[in-house]
A and B are shown apart, each in its own frame.
Chain A
Amino acid sequence: DVKVTQSSRYLVKRTGEKVFLECVQDMDHENMFWYRQDPGLGLRLIYFSYDVKMKEKGDIPEGYSVSREKKERFSLILESASTNQTSMYLCASSFRGPDYGYTFGSGTRLTVV
């Protein structure tokens, strides 16, 4: 069964900590994405990557960075966690092309205290 795996289901971190969220896909997808999901705001794109070592800013990149050293792995980094980054984080991947949908992971619920 093909899938996108996010390393943690729940995380609690302290303000100011550096936080790493890991995502791995086994579908040989070129594109990978990080979204955050908040009630009433839907899914907002943080960063995406269309190839190894390539990255593009999404709609809300402030306070985040990403790393894609291997095709199957895409990491989201919170350089200095803040309470307003408490959210559900979703990783997704897709083939490159107009008619391919996204495959999402189950999400990481991050709480920053």
Chain B
Amino acid sequence: QQQVKQSPQSLIVQKGGISIINCAYENTAFDYFPWYQQFPGKGPALLIAIRPDVSEKKEGRFTISFNKSAKQFSLHIMDSQPGDSATYFCAASGTFGYQKVTFGTGTKLQVIP
């Protein structure tokens, strides 16, 4: 059972455009939602994260929007740059137990000049 559904699987965006990746979750016990960025040949790295007590979090060009009632969250990359080309994973975990993270299936983003 896939608990975090991510779309699209791949995305091509022009330089300067907005990249949008969407995720939906099922488990209402999830209350920590990180995004990871993975460059080729590297492991994923934590990019930005949000808790459900806020609807939006912004760090530089990266923004997470969170809709608790719809159980959906999304990553927006403003002014997308070729250096943003990577695979992005959304994820979710609960704050009880051992906080193991469930990942989405990933979105391969290509930003073209």
Contacts and interface: CB of A to CB of B under 8 A. Distances in A.
Interface in A1-58: 4, 31, 33, 35, 40-45, 48, 50, 56, 58
A50 B43 contact: no
Contact of A98 (B43, B99, B106): B99
Contacts of A106: 41-43
B24 to A, nearest CB: 14
Given A98-B99, A101-B49, A42 B89 contact: yes
A94 B6 CA distance: 24
Interface in B49-95: 49, 51, 89, 93-95
A37 B40 CA distance: 13
Given A48-B98, A56-B98, A101 B46 contact: yes
Contacts of B6: 42
B101 interface: yes
Interface residues of A, number: 29
A28 B103 CA distance: 24
A105 B49 contact: no
Interface of B: 6, 9, 31-32, 34, 36, 41-46, 49, 51, 89, 93-95, 98-106
A92 interface: yes
B46 to A, nearest CB: 3
Contact of A4 (B43, B94, B101, B106): B43
A106 to B, nearest CB: 5
Contacts of B31: 98
B59 to A, nearest CB: 13
B44 A104 contact: yes
Contacts of A105: 43
Contact of A42 (B43, B95, B99, B105): B105
7 contacts: A4-B43, A31-B98, A42-B105, A43-B44, A99-B32, A104-B36, A104-B45
